[in-house]
Amino acid sequence: MPKERRKTALGRPTVQSVDRTLDVLEALATRRSATGISELSHIVGLHVSTVHRLLATLVDRGYVRQDPETARYHLGARIFSLSSAAEVHLDLRLLGRPYLERLMRATGETSNLVTLADDEICYLDQVESSHLVKMFTQPGTRAPLYCTGSGKVCLAFLADDRRLSLLSQRMRPRTSHTMVERDQIERELTEIRRLGYGFDNEEMEEGVRCVAAPLFDRRGQVIGALSVSGPTTRMSPEKAQTCIVPLLTVARELSAQLGYGQQLVPDASAPQRARVGVAAR
């Protein structure tokens, strides 16, 4: 009799190959020493040939390592990089919540917490404003770097080689305000590095303006951003300017919680006036 397929909490059938792969990884995670393929096959309840195919893929991707002398298997380095990344994201969201709430109260507009996710940003958390018309982005949503305030401040503070690599990719306009010329974007990123914050002036979505500041970890590397966003009917260039000081203050304090020991800008209490709006383009 064929084994009944697993189902999700919502009653949907799972993907069998993914289930089996995770069974293998979880089995290896419980072992204190390297495990032979026959023993692993017995633990997960799969035929040796099936386990061998799964392990071959996992070894090739770096999630499992095979000892060349004993031919036994244990978790590879890449699995620990995933674990580390998950820990950073969890810590960032847990730590960031009270800072988001503070930022929303100080500015009266929706505050957002994002993290870098490969060549995009990912929204981790948000505290909505109390206005009837507000900005809402579902946590887990991803967005491009080059046309969002948070994305641009992350891009500006990345290592040169990674930033240049990302800028070499094709960038398509999201609105009539989106900058897609590399030279133009690089000039703006230089300005962001000078000031310590940046703007999205309807570049991702018509009628939305955003001001953002980067977040740094204990190694001094940019890992995400805080931003304040609102409809342009309320978030005018002048209103966006009033958000800069509380934004930089909160971003600096959250970065310090993450182990970063320097200010984001020389004097966050008196930031230089940035170029905001269409005239700045």
Instruction: Verify that 98 and 230 share a domain, yes or no.
Output: yes
Task: Return d(Cα 129, Cα 109) in angstroms, integer.
Answer: 5
Task: Return d(Cα 211, Cα 198) in angstroms, integer.
Answer: 6
CATH code of the domain covering residue 34: 1.10.10.10
Count of domains in the chain? 2
Give the domain range for residue 57.
16-75
CA dihedral 101→104→110→114, nearest 10 degrees, is -50
3-state secondary structure of 193: helix
Task: Return d(Cα 229, Cα 112) in angstroms, integer.
Answer: 8
Q: 37, 42, 75, 36: which is closest to 58 by C-alpha? A: 75
Asked if residue 68 is part of any domain, the answer here is yes
Q: Say what the pTM is.
A: 0.65
The answer to whether 77 and 65 have CB atoms below 8 angstroms apart is yes
Asked if residue 162 is part of any domain, the answer here is yes
Instruction: Verify that 50 and 100 share a domain, yes or no.
Output: no
Instruction: Verify that 244 and 106 share a domain, yes or no.
Output: yes
Mean pLDDT split into 10-residue runs, the chain, 281 residues: 58 83 90 88 93 93 88 84 60 87 95 91 90 69 93 96 92 94 95 96 94 93 95 94 97 90 48 41 34
- State the DSSP code for 112: E
Instruction: Verify that 268 and 149 share a domain, yes or no.
Output: yes
Task: Return d(Cα 126, Cα 114) in angstroms, integer.
Answer: 9
Q: 52, 68, 54: which is closest to 17 by C-alpha? A: 54
Asked which of 75, 90, 106 is the last residue of a domain, the reply is: 75
Q: Which residue has the tokens 């969002």?
A: 148
Task: Quote the pLDDT of residue 281.
Answer: 34
